[in-house]
């Protein structure tokens, strides 16, 4: 049921650590979407909005900016996956 409340008790963010930078980027994407999902918890509404913003270049750039901000956090957490 897409209308179910999100994250009610479920663990979705056990750690900021990832094996690789690429998994870290994927985590940054998840964090960005979670930020949207927190403000608009109705998955049905979010699904309806998708065509609107996915075809608006400015929305895509803004979404990419949020991902970039979270990637800073995840990359620092992982000490930039230095060896």
Interface residues with a copy of itself (CB under 8 A) are: 7, 11-17, 20-22, 25, 29, 31-36, 38-40, 45-46, 49, 52-73, 75-77, 80-82
Q: In a 3-state reduction of DSSP, which class is residue 38?
A: helix
Residues in the chain: 83
Closer residue to a copy of itself in complex, CB, 1/61: 61
CA distance linking residue 77 with residue 6, whole number of Å? 25
Q: Which residues contact 60 (CB under 8 A, 6 or more apart)?
A: 53, 54
CB of 22 to a copy of itself, least distance (A): 4
Name the minimum Å distance from CB 24 to a copy of itself.
Answer: 8
Instruction: Indicate if the alpha-carbon torsion angle 55, 56, 57, 60 is positive or negative.
Output: negative
- Residue with smaller CB distance to a copy of itself, 1 or 24: 24
Shortest distance, position 12 Cβ to a copy of itself, whole Å: 7
């Amino acid at each position: 049921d897409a209308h179910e409340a999100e994250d009610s008790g479920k663990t979705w963010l056990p750690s900021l650590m990832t094996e690789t930078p690429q998994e870290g980027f994927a985590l940054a994407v998840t964090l960005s979407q979670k930020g949207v999902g927190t403000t608009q918890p109705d998955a049905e509404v979010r699904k309806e909005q998708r065509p609107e913003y996915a075809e608006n270049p400015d929305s895509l750039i803004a979404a990419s900016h949020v991902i970039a901000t979270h990637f800073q956090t995840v990359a620092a957490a992982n000490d930039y996956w230095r060896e």
